[in-house]
Structure 1
Amino acid sequence: MVMNLYLCGCVLLLSSFTSAFVGEDLKLGNQNPSLPTSLIPLVLTSTITVTPTVSTITVTPTVTPTSLVQNILPTTITVTAGASNTSPNISPHLSAGTQQQPPPASPSSPSQGPPGAPPSPVQNAVPIPYNCASPVPGLSPQDCTYLSAIGIVSQGQNALSAASGSAGIFLGSAGPNTFSFINGASVPLILVVWYNPVDDAQSSFMDARTPKITYSLPAQGSAVVVSIDNEVPGGWSTLYNHTTALTEYGQVNNTFGEFNTGTFATTDVSRLVNMQGHPMTLVVRGSGCRSDMQTCVYMCAEPGAMTCGRERSYRLDNCQGQPGAVVSNDADGNPTGGCQGWSNGGHVDVIFT
């Protein structure tokens, strides 16, 4: 995916063990609480060919006035079933990895990444209270209640424009960079998108930071488009069928996607938080560069590891050799890179299976 020099075992590689992306001079605007009628999309179909079972799933995005599924064009992407699945043009301040770092902790707690044993998912004994009788646009009351039950600090902002406080991450296709998130699975999903500012060691910890987007994708074919301004770093993950919880550190215990927009826009799939997470495939529409569970993906280097994030504990697999893919290393020998080909504006298709 994308991101700034990843240090101290932070899953997002930043030169300060806090964040993996550069996010400066973000464009912010005014909140628009109403949903423009121009955002009502047409019905479009995406086809996913799943191997090795060689079955074909026809994905028809759900169309409602708030579904915001524009820019989801007919496309065919081959997805491998199951979780096992040169001098690059990389900014000196950019690297990619995953946002796997524990929050600031007492001296007796680990300070750089998870301990040797995999962290176990935990749910708060007492749900965090917030108003799920009237959730944000795109989030169902049932999904809102589940976010509260597993300890996510708040439902997402789900801004409908680049409003003040949105960090340039909002619903719809009005921004220079757009991501289509499509439910290709057979169960309900909840999309969670966060902002990863420089010097924030807890940006991906959903028990400590308010997500920018929490959006219900209740059935196979449900979809949403999310806009992101230039020079914005962040990531996303998904909650599957009201079973995915948070890790002991407060991150979504599943596969991550990562991005950094702007001049050296980059995106990737990262499995570092949970090597057994659910499959995800992303394709940059301009370059055709692909990242999935085996291709251009961040993996734990130690055989059998379930989670990782410390310095030189991970690798970037099978990224070279396709258009738009870049690979390098930071000053500490950690791999950096991902899928480019959409600098200062472009579109990425993401399918969850």
Structure 2
Amino acid sequence: MDLANVLQLGIKEIRGLIRDPIMMGLILFSFTFQIYTSATSAVETLNRAPIAVVDEDQSPLSTRIIEAFQPPYFTEPTMISVAEMDRRMDEGLDTFALDIPPGFQRDLLAGKRPEIQLNVDATRMAQAFSGAGYVQSIIAAEIGEFQSRYRADTATAADLVLRARFNPSLNGGWFQAVMGISNSVTLLALILSGAALIREREHGTIEHLLVMPVTPLEIMVSKIWSMSLVVLLGTAFSLVVMCEWVLGIPLQGSMTLFLAGTALHLFATASLGIFLATVAGTMPQFGLLMMLVLLPLQVLSGAQTPRESMPQIVQDIMLAAPNTHYVILSQSVLFRGAGLDVVWPQMLALAVIGAALFAFSLRHFRGFLK
């Protein structure tokens, strides 16, 4: 393999990418706006959940309960009637609808156990799951303080000391932003490497390469290193500018170690993108293959939900996917500050999977050029 040929072919690929406004727009979007929206609009914590209240009691206790629902967890409670409660929830205006029955305070002071009805729109799963617990805690605290006539902490036999490590504020946006970068790396590595090959075929320049004194190995390596370099630079930019400066996420580990793991992941994923391009041949077919491959890779890698919650057979199968190890490496380095002594199994797995995918893709690439 002539390294000079690999260098010049790679520079040619970068120039072709720069002249493609669609691909450049996709890269810019993936490492800026997509990361920002992942951190700010798709968080799992309760934030400004709309709540409506039917106050049939009109008592000091019901007023106290209503005033306890305040931003940022909830919006200002909307006072409605019983007839409006179901209609508003059907229209999606409220996530929670609280109905305080008549005589609630009187029955409570009489030693009875009155009931409060809480309707929850469970289609809004993230808010419904955590918000119902918030509502119950708020109501229980206000009733307890009303009955005891003073505001005080409930005495318990044992104190539970909670220490949230790596994310002390329990901000889900931190996790979503970093995992958004991981998903963008996988997406762009597949698309850019595959599109670079398909672009050669659609523009008719693949025939020019075949008559030049270059080998299939040199052509494939040039496409992988050039597209991987673009994604690697975008990853570093997104971590520093978007995560640390714009979103204020404190990244704990070594940036150099993370980028080294990213390079191994790009080597494996870009090789897979070359293989998909040789199978597809045209951009529409390549897009359909991307849907079949990319979605399982991202959903089952552990970037969205913990791998431990998946069936064991899915966990075992996904160990053959490069981004599974990349997600583990990303979380260990960027969240927990892990070093090479901790993430070396993931680095080794990425190197082995990348070598296997590269050899497999090179075989098909040679057949593609014939």
Q: What's the TM-score, normalizing by structure 2?
A: 0.21
Q: Give the helix-richer structure, 1 or 2.
A: 2
Q: What's the TM-score, normalizing by structure 1?
A: 0.22
Structure with bigger gyration radius: 2
Q: Give the strand-richer structure, 1 or 2.
A: 1
